[in-house]
Structure 1
Amino acid sequence: MDMKPYIERFRRRLAELETALADPVVATQPARLQELAREYARLKELVTTGDQYLRVEEELQRNRDLLEAEPPQSELAPLIREEIARCESDLARLTRELQRGLLPPDPADHRNIVMEIRAGAGGQEAALFAADLYRMYTRYAEARGWKVEPIDASPSDLGGFKEVIFLVSGSDVYQRLKYESGVHRVQRVPVTEAQGRIHTSTCTVAVLPEAEEVDVEIKPEELEITVSRASGPGGQGVNTTDSAVQILHKPTGLIVRCADERSQQKNKAKALRVLRARLLEAKRAEEAARYAAQRRAQVGTGERNERIRTYNFPQNRVTDHRIDLTLYNLGAILDGDLDPVIEPLMAHDLTRRLEEWTRNQPA
Structure 2
Amino acid sequence: MKKISLIHKLEISKKNFLEISKSITQPDIISNSKKYKILLEKYKKLKKIVSSYEEYNKKLVYLKEINFILENDLDIEMKEFAKIEKYNILENLSSIEKKLYQLVFFSKEEHVMEEDYRKEAIVEIRSGTGGDEACLFVEDILRMYTMYFKKLGWKYKIIYAQKGGIKGYKEIILEVNGEKGVYGNLKFESGVHRVQRVPKTESQGRVHTSAITVAVFPKVKDIEVNINLSDIKKDTFRSSGSGGQHVNKTESAVRLTHIPSQITVECQEERSQHKNFEKAMIILRSRIYQNEKEKRLAKISIKRKSLVSTGDRSVKIRTYNYPKNRVTDHRIHKSIYNLIGFMNGDIQEMINLLKFFEKK
Do the structures match in fold with TM over 0.5?
A: yes
How far residue 228 of structure 1 moved from its aligned partner, in angstroms, is 2.1
**Structure 1: which amino acid aligns with 2:213?**
T
Q: What percentage of aligned pairs have identical amino acids? A: 39
Which residue number corresponds to residue 74 of structure 2?
A: none
Supply the distance in 2 between the matched residues of 1:147 and 1:277 (Cα, whole angstroms). 18
| Equivalent residues, number | 277
Deviation sequence 1:21-55 (CA, Å, 0-9, x none)? 995555565434335547979xx9xxxxxxxxxxx
1:254 to 263, 272, 296: 263
Which residue number corresponds to residue 151 of structure 2?
A: 143
Tell whether the 8 Å contact from 1:245 to 1:267 is kept in structure 2 after alignment. Answer: yes
Supply the distance in 2 between the matched residues of 1:143 and 1:239 (Cα, whole angstroms). 38
Tell whether the 8 Å contact from 1:21 to 1:33 is kept in structure 2 after alignment. Answer: no
**Structure 2: which amino acid aligns with 1:210?**
K
1:133 to 134, 141, 146: 141
Supply the distance in 2 between the matched residues of 1:37 and 1:277 (Cα, whole angstroms). 23
Tell whether the 8 Å contact from 2:162 to 2:241 is kept in structure 1 after alignment. Answer: no
**Structure 1: which amino acid aligns with 2:274?**
Q
Cα distance change, pair 253–316 in 1 and its aligned pair in 2 (3 A): same
Larger radius of gyration: 2
**Structure 1: which amino acid aligns with 2:323?**
P
Which residue number corresponds to residue 224 of structure 1?
A: 233
Matches within 5 A, 1:1-363: 23-25=21-23, 30-35=37-42, 37=44, 106-171=114-179, 172-235=181-244, 237-292=246-301, 295=306, 298-301=311-314, 306-350=315-359, 352=360
Tell whether the 8 Å contact from 1:319 to 1:326 is kept in structure 2 after alignment. Answer: yes
How far residue 148 of structure 1 moved from its aligned partner, in angstroms, is 1.0
How far residue 242 of structure 1 moved from its aligned partner, in angstroms, is 2.4
Supply the distance in 1 between the matched residues of 2:117 and 2:42 (Cα, whole angstroms). 14
Select between 233-242 and 116-125 the one with higher mean Cα deviation: 233-242
Deviation sequence 1:35-80 (CA, Å, 0-9, x none)? 5547979xx9xxxxxxxxxxxxxxxxxxxxxxxxxxxxxxxxxxxx
Tell whether the 8 Å contact from 2:145 to 2:345 is kept in structure 1 after alignment. Answer: yes
Tell whether the 8 Å contact from 1:139 to 1:335 is kept in structure 2 after alignment. Answer: yes
- Secondary structure of 2:316's partner? coil
Supply the distance in 1 between the matched residues of 2:18 and 2:354 (Cα, whole angstroms). 35
Which residue number corresponds to residue 57 of structure 1?
A: none
How far residue 225 of structure 1 moved from its aligned partner, in angstroms, is 1.2
Q: Which runs of no fewer than 5 residues in structure 2 stay unpaired? A: 1-13, 27-35, 52-98
How far residue 174 of structure 1 moved from its aligned partner, in angstroms, is 0.5
Select between 279-288 and 220-229 the one with higher mean Cα deviation: 220-229
Which residue number corresponds to residue 7 of structure 1?
A: none
Tell whether the 8 Å contact from 2:215 to 2:313 is kept in structure 1 after alignment. Answer: no
**Structure 2: which amino acid aligns with 1:249?**
H
Cα distance change, pair 20–318 in 1 and its aligned pair in 2 (3 A): farther
RMSD of equivalent CA atoms: 3.2
Supply the distance in 1 between the matched residues of 2:248 and 2:150 (Cα, whole angstroms). 28
Cα distance change, pair 260–39 in 1 and its aligned pair in 2 (3 A): farther
**Structure 1: which amino acid aligns with 2:232?**
L
Supply the distance in 2 between the matched residues of 1:235 and 1:170 (Cα, whole angstroms). 32
Supply the distance in 1 between the matched residues of 2:319 and 2:312 (Cα, whole angstroms). 15
Tell whether the 8 Å contact from 2:188 to 2:311 is kept in structure 1 after alignment. Answer: no
Deviation sequence 1:136-179 (CA, Å, 0-9, x none)? 11221122122211121221122111111121122211111011
**Structure 2: which amino acid aligns with 1:290?**
K
**Structure 2: which amino acid aligns with 1:131?**
E
Supply the distance in 1 between the matched residues of 2:140 and 2:157 (Cα, whole angstroms). 17
Tell whether the 8 Å contact from 2:197 to 2:209 is kept in structure 1 after alignment. Answer: yes
Q: Which runs of no fewer than 5 residues in structure 1 stay unpaired? A: 1-15, 45-98, 353-363
Supply the distance in 1 between the matched residues of 2:333 and 2:298 (Cα, whole angstroms). 26
Cα distance change, pair 239–329 in 1 and its aligned pair in 2 (3 A): farther
Cα distance change, pair 22–286 in 1 and its aligned pair in 2 (3 A): closer
Supply the distance in 2 between the matched residues of 1:170 and 1:312 (Cα, whole angstroms). 31
Deviation sequence 1:104-144 (CA, Å, 0-9, x none)? 65121111111111111212111111111111112211221
Structure holding more helix per residue? 2
**Structure 2: which amino acid aligns with 1:298?**
G
Query: TM-score with structure 1 length normalisation?
Result: 0.68
Supply the distance in 1 between the matched residues of 2:25 and 2:206 (Cα, whole angstroms). 65
Tell whether the 8 Å contact from 2:20 to 2:43 is kept in structure 1 after alignment. Answer: no
